[in-house]
């Protein structure tokens, strides 16, 4: 019998939220099935676009299947040129393709960045779970900047200024995820400018995770850090969210305007060491997804409207429930629900931590799959949950929207009822769960 030993740092990271929630739901389902329970499950945990991959991208992938050769570690030039054009068209900034690196999803690019860039990382919390485990795996320091509900979870430049004045080290990198997973908030240009001012003052780099940029419901409200802080921002984006191709594993990172040839080479060196290149057929296909293409533009417009309709409906409904305060998203497909008003009842019921809040919401017969606790980087007694509003048949909903787009707010409510009945029912289940929590 071989005893396989694992490096101790692996034990320090938690299971990614998608796997954790998936496993928890699978386990709960098994328990329910053996107990004869037939209650439905509400999939508010997993943050995946519910829509189909745009057909022109699917066709382009099929047509590129013969590109079997290895390619440049940083990505093929034609794709990097297309990404530069995309940034100009959608976000209004010029970027030399030499400053663009393509990687297998932004997750991997973020990992590469954390490996390359010296110093600690500042993570605002609540946050997407992906950052912290990567930082722990590299044995780096991270600093948690707690965002406050009274500020609608927005970074306050004064707080950031005070926070970074107290931390030591010659360089830090702030993670600025905009639109923000898990709250759905979107920063205004003015707010970003003030944050950039603080970053300039303290020599802070920004990892601008803009993976949900084109999922901003009103694009007039979105400004890329590429316009505001080009000299200090690493901007990541990719195909996973607005083009619903998470499984294609393709993302890009725009390096700061001040990046030297050495930094560009270092990035390529690490990319070549770790993954060599993103699948070459995927890269050729992705050119189609980045070049001007009416079908994809329409697709992005329609899907962002559907996200808005679903997000506003569900967050408004959850806000009507006593004990819950939910953010109203302006982008992405999440909102954040604060359960702290229920803290005394939760404690009495034995729900001692925010991790246990997730377990309780999922328990029979409530079956609400959410992401809570460590997965959002919350303190143990900060009861909050990320709600992903993607529990519906994306393809069908997309076709229905195209045939008959809702024209008024009452049409929009009807649209949700017709297309996302499980999300509508989730609020009843939430009310049932609260009654249960409040029972003496």
264 vs 260: CA distance, rounded Å: 6
User: 283 exposed, middle or buried (CB, 10 Å; 0-12, 13-18, 19+)?
Assistant: buried
Q: Is the peptide bond before 179 cis (omega within 30 degrees of 0)?
A: yes
List the one residue out of 335, 261, 369 whose CA is nearest residue 44: 369
- Cβ 405 vs Cβ 305: under 8 Å: yes
Instruction: Locate 152 and state its tokens.
Output: 């609608």
Residue with the shortest CB distance to ligand PLP? 105
Q: What is the length of the chain?
A: 440
The distance of closest approach from Cβ of residue 102 to ligand PLP in the complex, given in angstroms and rounded to an integer, is: 11
390 vs 23: CA distance, rounded Å: 19
Nearer to ligand PLP, 178 or 429 (CB): 178
The distance of closest approach from Cβ of residue 371 to ligand PLP in the complex, given in angstroms and rounded to an integer, is: 11
The distance of closest approach from Cβ of residue 138 to ligand PLP in the complex, given in angstroms and rounded to an integer, is: 17
Segment 16-55, which members bind ligand PLP (CB under 6 A)?
Answer: 47
Instruction: Locate 96 and state its tokens.
Output: 């030399």
173 vs 116: CA distance, rounded Å: 11
123 vs 182: CA distance, rounded Å: 13
Nearer to ligand PLP, 271 or 430 (CB): 271
State yes or no: residue 128 binds ligand PLP (CB under 6 A).
yes
The distance of closest approach from Cβ of residue 273 to ligand PLP in the complex, given in angstroms and rounded to an integer, is: 19
Instruction: Locate 339 and state its tokens.
Output: 């359960």
Nearer to ligand PLP, 87 or 427 (CB): 87
193 vs 181: CA distance, rounded Å: 21
Per CB under 6 A, the segment of 21-29, 151-159, 238-246, 298-306 that binds ligand PLP is 238-246
The distance of closest approach from Cβ of residue 143 to ligand PLP in the complex, given in angstroms and rounded to an integer, is: 19
The distance of closest approach from Cβ of residue 375 to ligand PLP in the complex, given in angstroms and rounded to an integer, is: 12
The distance of closest approach from Cβ of residue 411 to ligand PLP in the complex, given in angstroms and rounded to an integer, is: 30
Which of 50, 238, 384, 406 forms a contact with ligand PLP (CB under 6 A)? Answer: 238
377 vs 372: CA distance, rounded Å: 8
Nearer to ligand PLP, 50 or 130 (CB): 130
Nearer to ligand PLP, 22 or 405 (CB): 22
State yes or no: residue 244 binds ligand PLP (CB under 6 A).
no
State yes or no: residue 181 binds ligand PLP (CB under 6 A).
yes
The distance of closest approach from Cβ of residue 17 to ligand PLP in the complex, given in angstroms and rounded to an integer, is: 9
Nearer to ligand PLP, 54 or 246 (CB): 246
Instruction: Locate 387 and state its tokens.
Output: 């709600």
- Cβ 376 vs Cβ 384: under 8 Å: yes
Segment 370-389, which members bind ligand PLP (CB under 6 A)?
Answer: none
Give the number of residues in contact with ligand PLP, rule: CB under 6 A. Answer: 14
Instruction: Locate 437 and state its tokens.
Output: 């929590």
Which of 177, 279, 280, 303 forms a contact with ligand PLP (CB under 6 A)? Answer: 177
Nearer to ligand PLP, 370 or 429 (CB): 370
Residue owning tokens 């408004």: 316
345 vs 323: CA distance, rounded Å: 10
Segment 392-431, which members bind ligand PLP (CB under 6 A)?
Answer: none
Check residue 404 and report its DSSP letter: S
Q: What are phi and psi of 60, to 5 degrees?
A: -65, -35
The distance of closest approach from Cβ of residue 156 to ligand PLP in the complex, given in angstroms and rounded to an integer, is: 21
In order of 129, 171, 187, 287, the CA distances from 174 in angstroms are 15, 10, 15, 30
- Cβ 276 vs Cβ 268: under 8 Å: no
Q: How many CB atoms lie within 10 A of CB 385?
A: 28
State yes or no: residue 209 binds ligand PLP (CB under 6 A).
yes
The distance of closest approach from Cβ of residue 226 to ligand PLP in the complex, given in angstroms and rounded to an integer, is: 17
95 vs 254: CA distance, rounded Å: 8
Segment 80-119, which members bind ligand PLP (CB under 6 A)?
Answer: 105-107
130 vs 389: CA distance, rounded Å: 19
Identify the helix (H) or strand (E) that includes residue 269.
helix 261-274
Nearer to ligand PLP, 177 or 429 (CB): 177
State yes or no: residue 279 binds ligand PLP (CB under 6 A).
no
The distance of closest approach from Cβ of residue 64 to ligand PLP in the complex, given in angstroms and rounded to an integer, is: 20
Q: Which residues bind to ligand PLP, rule: CB under 6 A?
A: 47, 105-107, 128, 130, 177, 181, 209, 211, 238, 240, 246, 251
């Amino acid at each position: 019998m071989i005893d396989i030993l694992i490096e101790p740092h692996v034990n320090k990271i938690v299971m990614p939220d998608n796997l954790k929630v998936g496993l928890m739901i699978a386990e709960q389902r098994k328990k329910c099935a053996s107990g004869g329970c037939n209650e439905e499950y509400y999939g508010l945990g997993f943050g995946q676009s519910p829509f189909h991959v745009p057909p022109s991208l699917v066709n382009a992938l099929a047509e590129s299947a013969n590109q079997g050769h290895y390619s440049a570690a940083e990505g093929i030039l034609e794709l990097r040129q297309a990404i530069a054009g995309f940034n100009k068209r959608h976000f209004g900034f010029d970027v030399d393709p030499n400053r663009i690196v393509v990687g297998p999803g932004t997750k991997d690019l973020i990992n590469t960045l954390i490996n390359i860039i010296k110093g600690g990382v500042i993570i605002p919390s609540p946050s997407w779970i992906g950052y912290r485990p990567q930082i722990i795996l590299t044995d780096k320091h991270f600093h948690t900047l707690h965002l406050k509900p009274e500020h609608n979870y927005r970074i306050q430049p004064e707080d950031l200024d005070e926070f970074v004045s107290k931390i030591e080290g010659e360089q830090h990198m702030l993670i600025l995820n905009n639109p923000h997973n898990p709250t759905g908030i979107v920063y205004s240009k003015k707010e970003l400018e003030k944050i950039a001012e603080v970053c300039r003052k303290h020599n802070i780099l920004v990892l601008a995770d803009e993976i949900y940029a084109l999922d901003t419901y009103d694009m007039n409200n979105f400004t890329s850090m590429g316009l505001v802080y080009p000299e200090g921002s690493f901007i990541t984006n990719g195909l996973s969210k607005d083009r619903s191709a998470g499984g294609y594993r393709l993302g890009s990172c725009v390096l700061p305007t001040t990046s030297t040839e050495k930094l560009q080479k270092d990035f390529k060196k690490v990319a070549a060491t770790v993954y060599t290149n993103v699948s070459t057929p995927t890269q050729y296909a992705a050119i189609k997804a980045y070049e001007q293409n009416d079908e994809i533009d329409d697709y992005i417009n329609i899907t962002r409207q559907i996200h808005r309709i679903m997000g506003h409906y569900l967050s408004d409904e959850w806000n009507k429930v006593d004990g819950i305060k939910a953010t109203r998203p302006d982008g992405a497909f999440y909102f954040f629900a604060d359960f702290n008003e229920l803290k005394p009842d939760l404690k009495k019921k034995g729900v001692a931590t925010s991790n246990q809040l997730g377990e309780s919401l999922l328990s029979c017969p409530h079956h609400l799959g959410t992401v809570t606790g460590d997965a959002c980087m919350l303190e143990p007694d900060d009861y909050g949950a990320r709600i992903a509003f993607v529990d519906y048949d994306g393809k069908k909903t997309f076709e229905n929207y195209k045939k008959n787009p809702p024209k008024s707010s009452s049409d929009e409510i009807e649209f949700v009822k017709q297309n996302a009945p499980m999300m509508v029912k989730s609020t009843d289940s939430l009310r049932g769960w609260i009654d249960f929590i409040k029972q003496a």
